[in-house]
Amino acid sequence: MNKLVKLFITSISAITLALVSFSSSFAKVEGDYIVLGSAISLTGKYSSNGVHTQNGYNMAVDRINKMGGVEVQGKKYKFEIIYYDDESNPKRAAQLAERLIKQDGVHYMLGPYSSGLTKAIAPVTEKYKIPMVEANGASRSLFTKGYKYLFAVLSPANQYLEVAIDLAVEKNGGKGVKIAQAFEQDAFSQDVRLGILDAAKRTGSEIIIDDKLPKELNDMAATLAKVKATKPDVLVVSGHTKGALTAIRQISEMKVDVPMLAMTHCDAAKLSKQHGKKSEYALCASQWHKNLSYKDKFFGSGKKYAKDFQKEFGYDPPYQSAESSAALLVFKDAFERANSFDRDAVRDALVDTEMQTFYGNIKFGPGGQNVAKPMILFQVRCKGDDCENRVVAPTKWASDKFYHPIPKWSERS
């Protein structure tokens, strides 16, 4: 026992020494680099969207660094990002945020992917007064907590599919419609649901199916069977990438006829590529589309961004990547206007942000959400076997007409 105790004490002191020498934290600005931190979902249920987010960040970092970097007090700095994998788990994300701030000495954060993870990280960044520009946490409850250091470049989640309900009512001659809806049980999708509830109340529509789907959903046959039986006017589904893929797969397998299908995350799921004609006529909410006419000097237009992104990563950028790139443009702009690395100065500069990026106009409301950019809707349309997303609403940006109602499966070739 004596030796064992000695061994134990020795190892503890060794670890102690190692930790003490390790815990001297780095600076937020190292040499010519401004170090940003981000916990990203590289594994777990959000891994595909996590990678879209990371690609968006990396693309913008490369571009800004190549084009001269960030100028603060006459000196040029480059961006650098420290990434950790949060495993799509809020508990892990909060822990990693703490680690980025306390151990890696990060003073400026970029958001993770998804509302749930952003909700877990925001209390940490708020506590240490670390400005966080996030691009993938749209849940409305993020913006009602009175957070002062949280800035979101996207529109809040409840706005995602409200437009779709308005569109359905319009097609129904202004009368209320029958809505069937199914939402994943997570912060984001539940917020989309609240938006639909508001829209239903406003338009006098009736919700006839209101299902909750499990996380990482792979099956929604029960909901679809009900849809088949009750014949609603609109079917609304939201459940991140997997939700979109599952919905299209099972709707086509079960040949469910519904006049209008509204979803989220179609472009992240590469729906038009993965399911081709089966996904035709699906209506999708999006924060961004490459055909919109916003511009900035780093990426040019949306179309140019899409082309460059395609060249770099080999696929069409979903809006998750675009908004993530925009987050870095916001940071660059704020650093230069603050002309300082003082966290509060940068935070104050972020509050005053008013700019146009290729992704859209950005101006933060009192809660930190972007109030300058509307949501858009696109519809998957096919020519032969070639399918693509076309913007159908709002009318100001619409490149195509909205096709309604969806033809029955028996009539589709």
Partner 1 sequence: MGNIKQKDLILYSGLIILGLAAPYLFSAFKVQLTYLCVLIVLAMTWNLQGGEMGYNTFGNILFYGLGMYLTASVQVGMFFPLAEWTESGGEKTFVHTTAQYFQGIGVGLLVSAIIPAIVAGAIGYAILGLRGHYFAICTLGLGIAAGEIAGGIEIIGAGQGFTTPPFPAEIVDTEARGKFFYFLSFALLIGTFVFVKYIYGSRFKLILNAIRDNEDKAEAMGIQTMKYKITGWMCSAFFCGLAGGIMGGLIGYIDSTDVAFDGREMGVFMVLMAILGGKGTLWGPVIGATLFHFFKEGLWTLILGWQYVALGVLIVVIVIYFPEGLMGWLREKYPERFGEVIDEKDRKAQVELK
Element (H, E) at 251: helix 240-254
Task: Confirm or reject binding of residue 8 to partner 1 (CB under 8 A).
Answer: yes
Can you tell me which of 69, 112, 116, 232 binds partner 1, judged by CB under 8 A? Answer: 116
CB count in 10 Å sphere of residue 18: 10
Comparing CB distances to partner 1, the nearer of 146 and 204 is 146
> Rounded to the nearest whole angstrom, what is the least distance from the CB of residue 146 to partner 1 in the complex?
4
Comparing CB distances to partner 1, the nearer of 78 and 215 is 215
Q: State the Rg of the chain over Cα.
A: 23
Place of tokens 């609240």: 194
User: Which range in 3-11, 259-267, 270-278, 323-331 contacts partner 1 by CB under 8 A?
Assistant: 3-11
Both structure tokens of 4: 């064992």
User: Which range in 178-186, 317-325, 337-345, 354-362 contacts partner 1 by CB under 8 A?
Assistant: 178-186
Cβ density class 190-207: b for 16+ within 10 Å, e for less: bbbbbbbbebbeebebeb
Name the residue type at position 200.
Answer: A
Residue span 286-325 as binding mask against partner 1, x where in contact by CB under 8 A, dash where not = ----------------------------------------
Task: Please state, in angstroms and rounded to a whole number, the distance separating the CA atoms of residues 370 and 200.
Answer: 24
Q: Which of residues 24-43 bind partner 1 (CB under 8 A)?
A: 25, 42-43
Task: Confirm or reject binding of residue 390 to partner 1 (CB under 8 A).
Answer: no
Residue span 188-207 as binding mask against partner 1, x where in contact by CB under 8 A, dash where not = -xxx--x-------------
Task: Confirm or reject binding of residue 229 to partner 1 (CB under 8 A).
Answer: no
Look at residues 281, 277, 290 and name the one whose alpha carbon lies nearest to residue 386: 277
> Rounded to the nearest whole angstrom, what is the least distance from the CB of residue 159 to partner 1 in the complex?
12
> Rounded to the nearest whole angstrom, what is the least distance from the CB of residue 111 to partner 1 in the complex?
14
Place of tokens 């987050």: 327
Name the residue type at position 116.
Answer: G
Pairing verdict, β 295-296 and 300-301:
antiparallel
Local structure of residue 61 (DSSP, 8 states):
H
Can you tell me which of 27, 175, 214, 409 binds partner 1, judged by CB under 8 A? Answer: 214
Comparing CB distances to partner 1, the nearer of 215 and 228 is 215
> Rounded to the nearest whole angstrom, what is the least distance from the CB of residue 91 to partner 1 in the complex?
5
Can you tell me which of 136, 158, 272, 379 binds partner 1, judged by CB under 8 A? Answer: 158
Task: Please state, in angstroms and rounded to a whole number, the distance separating the CA atoms of residues 266 and 69.
Answer: 34
User: Which range in 98-106, 217-225, 341-349, 356-364 contacts partner 1 by CB under 8 A?
Assistant: 98-106
User: Which range in 88-96, 300-308, 319-327, 346-354 contacts partner 1 by CB under 8 A?
Assistant: 88-96
Residue 141 CB-density burial (10 A; 0-12 exposed, 13-18 middle, 19+ buried): middle
Both structure tokens of 399: 């490149």
What angle is formed at CA 405 by the lines to CA 413 and CA 408, rounded to 5 degrees?
35
Comparing CB distances to partner 1, the nearer of 43 and 310 is 43
Task: Confirm or reject binding of residue 365 to partner 1 (CB under 8 A).
Answer: no
> Rounded to the nearest whole angstrom, what is the least distance from the CB of residue 272 to partner 1 in the complex?
28
Can you tell me which of 59, 110, 124, 268 binds partner 1, judged by CB under 8 A? Answer: 124
Task: Confirm or reject binding of residue 230 to partner 1 (CB under 8 A).
Answer: no
Place of tokens 């349309």: 381
Comparing CB distances to partner 1, the nearer of 95 and 339 is 95
Comparing CB distances to partner 1, the nearer of 183 and 359 is 183
DSSP 146-170: --SSEEESS--GGGTTHHHHHHHHH
DSSP 97-115: HHHHHHTS---EEE--SSH
Task: Confirm or reject binding of residue 232 to partner 1 (CB under 8 A).
Answer: no
Task: Confirm or reject binding of residue 119 to partner 1 (CB under 8 A).
Answer: yes
> Rounded to the nearest whole angstrom, what is the least distance from the CB of residue 184 to partner 1 in the complex?
7
For residue 302, give the 3-state DSSP assignment.
helix
What angle is formed at CA 204 by the lines to CA 202 and CA 208, rounded to 5 degrees?
115
What angle is formed at CA 114 by the lines to CA 66 and CA 283, rounded to 5 degrees?
95
Cis status, amide bond into 394, omega within 30 of 0: yes
Place of tokens 């849809």: 227
Binding site for partner 1 (CB under 8 A): 1-5, 8-9, 12, 15-16, 19-20, 23, 25, 42-43, 83-85, 87-91, 94-95, 98-99, 102-103, 116, 119-120, 123-124, 126-129, 139-141, 144-146, 158, 183-187, 189-191, 194, 212, 214-215
